[in-house]
């Protein structure tokens, strides 16, 4: 991990939700947690799965970083409050919150499962509201801070691989949340930004995407490459660092140019 090391977050304390590790590769949350620790941050890894969370902590400690794990279901507002209490108790302050936790959800408005719909909204969107609610006062006491919310390109354009109303709606809400929080809390020194990942290949999607679909995902974007969790982590590092001190309210697509491409531009690629 030597190539990840730097000093862009020296002295910063960071919470990364949904940062547990899969067994087969790095997810977005884990990559962010590991990279931020390599850049000098003290990281609180938050996940609903203890085994996965501890794997991320072990990866950080193995590279001489500073990290600890907090087991929490952040769809519960009281648990969100306790996460913030834990980071203050252990590290003394909070500088950066990465709202990364998320789950998928399929279905059109006609055939969606209402219980799944509620779970997706609670997990992907409402948890960010609750985490931010308790994080912002702690950041204000520390002179300001940065919040980064993880959305998706499907919040801006349909994913094109079937109906996914619960997922798309939750991710679109995250962009609106980002802009409103930027407006509401900027005078307190709180920056709020958002990343909209494109077709990222992570453990979360590997069992849902066969090689043919992976090829289509690559061809859909101008760069014709598939993203990894590290592509998102490096973008998150910039937006969370002091280098981005004058950036707030932004939704940054990290998508190989996908959102610039017309569906018609794929036709020649699909026939060749």
Supply 266's token pair.
């794929």
Structure-token pair, residue 77 = 């507002």
Residue 10 tokens read as: 């020296």
Active site amino acids: 167
Show Cβ contacts of residue 36 under 8 Å, excluding neighbours closer than 6 positions. Answer: 9, 12, 14, 16, 43, 96, 98, 233, 236, 237, 240
Return the structure tokens found at 63: 């590279």
Secondary structure letter of residue 250 according to DSSP: -
Phi, psi angle pair for 134, to nearest 5°: -90, -25
What is the Cα Rg of the chain in Å? 18
Beta bridge partners of 15: 44, 97
Q: How far is CA 232 from CA 19, 75, 108, in A?
A: 13, 24, 28
Dist. CA 44–CA 65, nearest whole Å: 12
- Look at strands 190-197 and 66-71 and give their pairing: unpaired
Beta strands in the chain, from DSSP E residues, in sequence order = 13-17, 42-47, 66-71, 96-99, 145-150, 190-197, 251-254
């Amino acid at each position: 991990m030597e190539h990840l090391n730097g000093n862009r977050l020296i002295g910063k304390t960071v919470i990364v939700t949904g940062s547990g590790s899969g067994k087969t590769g790095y997810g977005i949350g884990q990559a962010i947690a590991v990279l931020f620790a390599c850049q000098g941050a003290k990281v609180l890894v938050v996940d609903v799965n203890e085994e996965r969370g501890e794997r991320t902590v072990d990866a950080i400690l193995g590279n001489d970083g500073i990290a600890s794990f907090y087991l929490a279901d952040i769809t519960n507002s009281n648990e969100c409050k306790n996460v913030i209490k834990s980071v203050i108790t252990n590290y003394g302050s909070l500088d950066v919150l990465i709202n990364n936790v998320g789950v998928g959800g399929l279905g059109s408005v006609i055939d969606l499962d209402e219980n799944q719909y509620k779970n997706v909204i609670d997990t992907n969107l409402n948890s960010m509201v609750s985490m931010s609610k308790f994080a912002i006062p702690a950041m204000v006491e520390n002179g300001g801070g940065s919040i980064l919310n993880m959305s998706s390109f499907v919040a801006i354009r349909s994913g094109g691989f079937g109906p996914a109303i619960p997922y798309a709606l939750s991710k679109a809400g995250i962009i609106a949340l980002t802009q409103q929080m930027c407006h509401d809390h900027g005078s307190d020194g709180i920056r709020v930004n958002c990343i909209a990942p494109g077709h990222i290949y992570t453990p979360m999607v590997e069992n849902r995407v066969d090689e043919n679909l992976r090829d289509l995902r690559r061809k859909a974007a101008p760069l014709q490459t598939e993203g990894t969790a590290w592509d998102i982590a490096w973008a998150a590092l910039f937006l969370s660092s002091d280098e981005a001190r004058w950036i707030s309210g932004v939704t940054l697509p990290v998508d190989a140019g996908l959102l610039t491409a017309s569906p018609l531009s794929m036709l020649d690629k699909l026939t060749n």
